[in-house]
Amino acid sequence: MTRVRFAPSPTGHLFVSGARVALANFLHARRHGGHMLLRFDDVDRDRARPAFAETIAHDLQWLGVAWDETFLQSGRLSLYAQAADKLRQSNRIYPCFEGDDELRAKRDQQLKRGKSAVYDRGMLRMTAEQRAKAEANGKRPYWRFLLSPRTLEWRDQIAGPRQAKLTAVSDPVVVRADGTATPLFASVVDDIETGITLVIRGEDNAVNTGVQLDLWEALTGKPPLVQFAHLPALADTGRVRLARKASSLSVRALRGDGVDPTALATCLARVGLPASGEPATPDDLARTFDLSRLSQTAAGFDASQLLSLNRRALSRVDFGAIADRLPSGATEAFWLAVRGSLDLLNEVRGWWEVVAGTIVPPVIYGEGAFLSEAEALLPPEPWDDSVWRRWTDALAQATGRVGDALLMPLRLALTGEEHGPALEALLPLIGRARASIRLRIAAA
């Protein structure tokens, strides 16, 4: 069975880049009838927070990403200790005592001599007496993994053939001085223990792949069967720019702005692919999701495509499904009038002000006589959905105006905007009193 995992560190909110990785794992698992694990990599005690794990899970559920199993790494510390003992017994990890300042000085000296800054394995030459003396002086060792002297090759399911020359990489720290596992080590132990068959993650993690494969083999005694797929980094493209770059845009912020989950899921699933015309649910997206079709280069996150998808998604939402997120007093007639003109749901408050508030339109210079005539010809109430046609027909006959010359001054005077929902639907909601006052102001 295909087994994948999404493994965020609960040190902050879920960003769009992370949501894309989670979605890719879900879609791949769903298409292939596989199993998805949600694992919280919270072994960094100084930064990890339970509240962030909760919000990440909530954001994933909102997006439509489901998982079959979940756990926290902080509940598996004994498992990592056992794995470290196994490597210790096979002499694949060794104790180190150098501090940050000493390591920095070593690197500086190596660079001055024109050498690589790879760790020099100086602690391998430490004798048992030297170690005992260091520990007697209060020092506690951290442990490094002894990398194999070879070049590892593998095929990435997105990027194609790859390799890592392990002699060009510093032996990684796998156990800290306090005895806890590092995230890199804990991740490999968990992937082995949970039977992960494919690691789908961001390109920023690709540099660790060779080290993790070497660790995997040292822990299992067998060549690893796990495969990898690295999603290229997101890059902002298109004409529209959102408030923050894609790499630092949170799902929480988009949800707060009124992005529909199907719009975001569709946009993220199709990054690097031809634009999709309609938003789709994750289950629908899974039917055609294929890692091999994804771009191998930096992938464009087009905010204009997201907004276009969101407009389509919002235009299909029924009043009952959105009523609790609309301004107090908003009616079904109001929602049906404006839903097809919203890029983001938070724009709905502006249109509620138009129909139920006291907006002040701009003075439209040169249109005073026309707007005064428009006010004089306003039909008496009650108004229904035919009032706009009856009013504009009478105004066209009285002034001889047609097309934009007739409609644009009216739209700007009534709404304060040059574009927006159809005035046939808005005018009955605005009402005669508001329309009259706004026409008078715009004509001043």
Query: Strand 69-72 to strand 35-40: parallel, antiparallel, or no bridges (unpaired)?
Result: parallel
The band of 115, judged by pLDDT with boundaries at 50, 70 and 90, is confident
What are the structural domains, with CATH classification, of the chain?
234-317 (1.10.1160.10), 321-443 (1.10.10.350)
Q: What pLDDT sits at residue 74?
A: 95
| Total-model pTM | 0.89
Q: What crossing angle do the helices spanning 423-430 and 348-356 adopt, rounded to 10°?
A: 50
Query: In Å, what is the CA distance from 142 to each residue of 97, 139, 214, 406?
Result: 7, 10, 19, 78
Give dist(CA 358, CA 346) in Å, integer. 19
User: In this predicted model, what pLDDT tens digit does every residue of 120-138 receive, in sequence order?
Assistant: 999 999 988 999 998 898 8
> Are 36 and 60 a contacting pair, CB within 8 Å?
no
In the chain, % of residues over pLDDT 90: 82
Contacts of 410 (CB under 8 A, 6+ apart): 374, 392, 423
**φ/ψ of residue 181, rounded to 5:** -75, 150
Burial of 184 (0-12, 13-18, 19+ CB in 10 A): middle
Give dist(CA 444, CA 430) in Å, integer. 20
> Are 69 and 35 a contacting pair, CB within 8 Å?
yes
The band of 247, judged by pLDDT with boundaries at 50, 70 and 90, is low
Give the burial string for 10-45 (b: 16+ CB within 10 Å, else e). Answer: beeebbbbbbbbbbbbbbbbbbeebbbbbbbbbbee
User: In this predicted model, what pLDDT tens digit does every residue of 420-437 receive, in sequence order?
Assistant: 999 999 999 999 999 999
Residue carrying structure tokens 């290229």: 232
User: In this predicted model, what pLDDT tens digit does every residue of 340-366 receive, in sequence order?
Assistant: 999 999 999 999 999 999 999 999 999
Query: At residue 240, does pLDDT exceed 70?
Result: no
User: In this predicted model, what pLDDT tens digit does every residue of 300-332 receive, in sequence order?
Assistant: 788 888 999 999 999 999 999 999 999 999 999
> Are 8 and 70 a contacting pair, CB within 8 Å?
no
Query: Can you name the residues that pair with 181 across neighbouring β-strands?
Result: 175
The band of 275, judged by pLDDT with boundaries at 50, 70 and 90, is low
